[in-house]
Structures are given as structure tokens and as C-alpha cells.
A and B are shown apart, each in its own frame.
Chain A
Amino acid sequence: MSKIKDKINLLNQKARASNLGGGQDRIDAQHKQGKMTARERLHFLFDNGFFDEIFKFVQHSNNAFGMDGKLLPGDGVVTALGAVNGRLVHVSSQDFTVMGGSVGRMHAWKICEMMDMSLKNGTPYIAINDSGGARIQEGIHSLRGYGRIFYYNTMLSGVVPQISIIAGPCAGGAAYSPALMDFIIMVEKTGQLFIAGPKVIKEATGENITAEELGGAMAQATFSGNVHFIARDDAEAIEITQKLLSYLPSNNLEEPPYLGSEQLDIVVDEALNFTVPDDPRDPYDMMDILVRVFDPDSIMEVQNHFAKNMLVCFARLNGRVVGVVANQPMVKSGAIDIDASDKASRFIRFCNAFNIPLITFVDVPGFMPGVEQEFGGIIRHGAKMLFSFSASTVPKITIIVRKAYGGAYLAMSAKSLGADRVAAWPSAEVAVMGAEGAVSILFRRELQEAEDPKQKRRELVKEYQENFATPYPAAAEGLVDSVIEPKMTRHYLSIALESLKNKRAPRPQKKHGLIPL
């Protein structure tokens, strides 16, 4: 005869069993690899380690291939909600100790249920991936599960921020869920991300490569640009997640978290007047300018291993979150290539979706020339930047630091693409192309007829540089609204940003635009 007390004991017993996941042995194995368990990760993520777990007693419903009667606590995924820095988030954390965190029907259902809650409540969704992939015993039920996860990822896209942590294997179709989310944070050594692993590649193409070389954090951050942030271990991955969340609104109807005061902190920074070298062909580090302009320690660079010729970062200006897009003259002369364009466009789209104003720093000699770039589709990919800046309705402010040539200048949020405010430094060179190239075209005949073509060329280049490679022709046309001393940049941006905080820019109704993909 069961009394209430016994029933409560039974509940506690079941809860304890569920908390152990695949059992102590497997937990030890997880620790041995330097990984946290699914629950430890949640404990670390949420304020005071507190979280509300839901669907704790979910079980699989499969009886094929010897699965009959097998118990899989939570079906291999812990789903929870709780506060991160006081703001509600929904999380699913795959439990590798339970059948390798493999995705069965109920496992996928739990994940989708969490995403649905995120969607309804307007909260960020975080997925912690540590899974061997599809549960083959469940066959197409597992496949359907993945399909549903991808569908929900797409539904959430642009409504709530989605962050994916790769803290274990994430291979094959499973890799497409992180790919559909906004940011991927990957743990070195333990994280693995690829569609077809080394063994499959060896068989298909004969190429030899290790799993780490192919799908390790560094490979996926550097070559493919899939990974936005690299973490040394699980703890660092979670710290990055918490920091990233501090820049993001909970959903597309909210403003990003504001840390400022009523008073604008406007400073004149003399050092900025000396950051750009005298010779326009000398490189410098654009980051040196950014750290001086934005609030101290407020810059969080995104994808810093990929397409380093383009910088994208979150930052704060007087406590207000902004997205910064900047050319990096130190790398590949700051020219825009396919990867740089992809990187910038994705970031611009994210900022626009989540009401984060865009600030652009321009020092670009042009789009990258080369057969490889043309055949790779630089036209199609470069067009993404034109599209994403034109389509963005958040406040857009541009600072032209130095070179701003041709189509690449337009791609860096030019006035003609709808930038709200554009200022140029006195070192700015806004022109249709560089002096050498322009002279070759404009004065072809004069150069041919000159007695000393080299001397004539030098004179003409100098003349062109003095008259056209300056900010003033653009300022005369109103394409630049102010020419400012570099030291006044923070001053200019602060006032411009404050004046645009209630900006409205209605667009014609449509299903969606067709960004060239």
C-alpha cells in the first residue's frame, strides 16, 4: 500500500536517476576528456547555477533494434530555462552520457519545444551540442526530428538571437542546426564540426586529413568561417556566450541592453590625429582607431580568425550597443574579397534584425582583383554587402578614414546606399578609382604624346591626387556631410547616434527581398 510519502520518495528517486544521465561511469569518461556534463554546463551558464529543468522524465518510444525496455533519461538532452545576467533564456543541452547524446524522436521534440517557448516568449535560444548524431535505431523518426529542428531554427531566425555552442561532436546533418543559428562558439579539441568526416572523405576523394584538421575549431573558424568564437574549454565557451548576450536584445522588438547615462561622454582624443600614416600606401591597424573611439573594453570582435581584411565587432558608444564594420588595411590591403563580403553582410543583417545601429569605418582600395575571385563569384558575393547595407533600416553612420575607391566605397555604407550620416577624415580619398589607374584612362593620349611620359605621368598623378583624392569633391556633392579632425570622431559619432535613436525608415511591404546568395 503506497502512501503519499512513498510516492514522494519515488519521485525523488526518479529525479536522482535522471540527473545521473548515463550513469557515473560515463560522467567520469566525459570529465576525463576535459568536458563538462550537460547539467554542469547549464549550472555554469545560469545566474547562481539555478535553472528550471523541464521534460526531465521524457523517455524514448522505440522498440526496434534491441531498444525495447532500455531507459534513456531525458532521451539524451537536458532542456531548461533560467536567467543569464537577469535575462530569461531557453536552452537545450545534449547529454553525451545518454547513448552518445544521439538524436531520437523525443530528443528532437524536446529541443523543438524549447525553441517554441523561445519564440512565444521572445527569449534568446541557446543550443549546447554534444551528440554523436542521429540515433540510427530510430531511423526516419530521428531524421524527422532533425527536420523539425531546422524548421524551428528558421522560424526563430531574426525573431530571437540563437547561439550554438559546439562542445562535442556535431557531424553530418546535425551540423546544419548550428549553421542556421546566428553565432557558433566552438570548444577546441573536443568540438568537431563537419558534414562528412575524414573516413568518408578518404573513400570519396582519397584525401587524407585528421578530424581535428578538418573539423576542429581552428579549421572551421579560419577556412570556412563557420565558427564565430573559439573557446579553450567548456567554461570559456559559456563565458563567451554570456558576454555575447550582453550585447543582444532578447528579441527583435526590443532594444539592445543600454548601459549609458543621461550625459554623453564626449572626449577629444588628440592621439587619433596621428594614427593614419602619411604615405597612403603604408598599412596600419584599424583596431587601434576602434579601441580609441568606442567605450573602454567594450569591443567584442566576431569571427576574428576569418577574412581578417574585414573587421566586424560589437561595441558600445556611451553605453549604447553598436555593430562596427571596418576595413583592415593591415591584411590584404583591406581589399574586399568574397570571404570579407560574406562576413560583413551576415553581420550587417544580424544587426539590422536586432535593432543594433551600424557604424562603418572605411579604408578600402577596392574589390580584390583576380581570376580566382571572379570565378569564385565576387560579383554575386560583393553584391551582398550592397544589398545588406541598402536594406538595413537601423541608424547607419560612416567614417571615411582614408581610401574609399569605386564600388568598394559604395559597399562600405556610402551615403548613396542610404547611410544617415557620413563624415570623412582629412586623409580621406573618395574617388572613382586610384590616381594611377584614373590617370591612365583620363590622359591616355596626353601620356602617349608627352616627350617624357614618365615625368608627365608623375605630374598628372600628383595633380589628380591633390584635386580628387581628397574628401572635398564628395563633401561638395553632399556625399560626405562633414569633414572632421580625427580627434573629433567620438564626438561626431556620439551626437549622430543620439540624434538617430528614434529613426524610422518604413519600407514597401513584401514577403522578403532577394539577397544574392
Chain B
Amino acid sequence: MNQNNPINTLNIDDTAYETFLTKKFKSRKPYSPSNPNQVVAFIPGVIREIFVKKGQDVKKGDVLLTLEAMKMKNSIKAPFNSKVKSIEVEVGKMVMKNQLLIELD
């Protein structure tokens, strides 16, 4: 293989192996537990309506905003009782998958 791809070490069962690693493997995101306070887009789409304001108290199940995707108006609901810390999107804005929409306290 070429020089841009140097030999790396990979540990499996207490043994170190010299090996090439793929770009995909090297750029993978390490596992981190998801932050329940961050409401993220589960699907790419467009924000149609926002029902809450910064600092507002919300109850579990309250609709925070509408995310339209694949011809469907998805209601994004509060996962637990909380307060809206910040709103990261605006009406009409396109969002990517896993983009932060709203942060809860």
C-alpha cells in the first residue's frame, strides 16, 4: 500500500498486530453515551413550527416543534419534564440527521 497509509497497531486479545487501517476505520467516531438533554433530529428535514420559547417549562410529551420530513409532519416531543435552555433552529430551516434542535435543562 502507499506511504500515506502507514502501518498501525491493533490490539486483539492481548496481542498487538501490525496492520493497515482503512480511512473509514480511522475516522470513525468513538462511542459516547448520548446526552438526553439534547433533542436532535432523528431524520433530515425542515422545521415547520416551533411551539416553545427559551426558558419555558415543558412537561414530558409536550410538542416542542414540528419537523417535516418524507412528506410527514413529525411532532418532536419533550422526553421528560424540563426547561428549554436554548433553541438551535428556526422555522423553515433545513436540518441534518442528528443536528441539535433544542437543548433542555
Contact = CB atoms under 8 A, between A and B. Distances in A.
A283 B12 contact: no
Contacts of A207: 30-31
Contacts of A283: 72-75
B68 A281 contact: yes
B69 interface: yes
Q: How large is the interface on A (under 10, 10 to 19, 20 to 34, 35 or more residues)?
A: 20 to 34
Contact of B12 (A200, A333, A369): A200
A333 B74 contact: yes
A281 B68 CA distance: 8
B3 interface: no
A20 interface: no
Interface centre among A204, A281, A329, A403, by most chain B C-beta atoms within 10 angstroms, is A281
Given A206-B30, A209-B31, A370-B97, A280 B10 contact: no
A251 to B, nearest CB: 40
Contacts of A281: 68, 71-73
B18 interface: no
A329 B43 CA distance: 13
A434 to B, nearest CB: 5
A333 B10 contact: no
A281 B71 CA distance: 5
Contacts of B71: 280-281, 333, 365, 403, 434
A333 B31 contact: no
Given A204-B11, A205-B30, A207-B30, A332 B70 contact: yes
A200 B13 contact: yes
B79 interface: no
A368 interface: yes
A204 B21 CA distance: 12
Contacts of A205: 30
Interface string A187-222: 000000000100010011111110001000000000
Q: How large is the interface on B (under 10, 10 to 19, 20 to 34, 35 or more residues)?
A: 20 to 34
B23 to A, nearest CB: 12
A403 B43 CA distance: 18
A333 B14 contact: no
Nearest to B33: A213
Contacts of A161: none
Interface string A408-445: 00000000000000000000000000100000000000
A339 B63 CA distance: 27
B104 to A, nearest CB: 21
Contact of A333 (B11, B30, B70, B97): B70
A333 B43 contact: yes
A369 B44 contact: yes
B42 interface: yes
A334 interface: yes
Interface in B18-59: 30-31, 33, 42-44
Given A203-B11, A203-B14, A204-B10, A335 B70 contact: yes
Contacts of B70: 332-335, 365-366, 368-369
Contacts of A280: 71
A460 to B, nearest CB: 17
A372 interface: yes
Interface string A310-333: 000000000000000000010011
Nearest to A366: B70
A90 to B, nearest CB: 35
A335 B44 CA distance: 12
30 contacts: A196-B12, A200-B13, A203-B11, A203-B14, A204-B10, A204-B12, A208-B31, A281-B68, A281-B72, A281-B73, A282-B72, A283-B73, A283-B74, A332-B70, A333-B70, A333-B71, A334-B72, A335-B43, A335-B70, A365-B70, A365-B71, A365-B72, A366-B70, A368-B43, A368-B70, A369-B70, A370-B44, A370-B97, A372-B97, A403-B71
Interface of B: 10-14, 30-31, 33, 42-44, 68-75, 97
Given A203-B12, A207-B31, A365-B72, 9 more contacts: A203-B14, A204-B11, A205-B30, A333-B70, A333-B71, A333-B72, A333-B74, A335-B43, A335-B70
Task: List the 5 shortest-distance A-B pairs measured between CB atoms, nearest first.
Answer: A333-B72, A333-B70, A365-B70, A203-B11, A365-B71
